[in-house]
Amino acid sequence: MAVGGTPAANVVFIGDDKIRVASTNIYKLENATDVEFVIEDPKNLVKLQSANNICTIEANENNKLGTFILRAIYNGNIYSKTIQVVSLW
């Protein structure tokens, strides 16, 4: 979902809606450059690293489950993706 100005054509959030505890997933905005990634994670479920328009999310190893929001800021628009941290089994 995009919030802000007119969304850029063909910009799509790529990445899974779920991440398992103690796992790592990669997310990106396809067809976008100079993207800034931020997370809304009040439970401290994950760690975020980003470089070269790709972000890596690492889920906690403490079996903490829940939901967080990943936001990508590109060209004055905010794209959001809700991601759930789930158990290993």
Q: What pLDDT shows up at residue 19?
A: 97
Provide the pairing of β-strand 54-59 with 2-4.
unpaired
Which pLDDT tens digit goes with each residue over 12-33? Answer: 899 999 999 999 999 999 989 8
Q: What pLDDT shows up at residue 52?
A: 83
* pLDDT band per the 50, 70, 90 thresholds, residue 67: very high
Model confidence at 6: pLDDT above 70: no
| CB atoms closer than 10 angstroms to residue 70 | 22
* Structural domains in the chain, sorted by start: 2-86 (2.60.40.10)
Model confidence at 60: pLDDT above 70: yes
For the purposes of burial, counting CB atoms within 10 Å of the CB of 83, is it exposed (0-12), middle (13-18) or buried (19 or more)?
A: buried
| 61, 29 contact by CB (below 8 A) | no
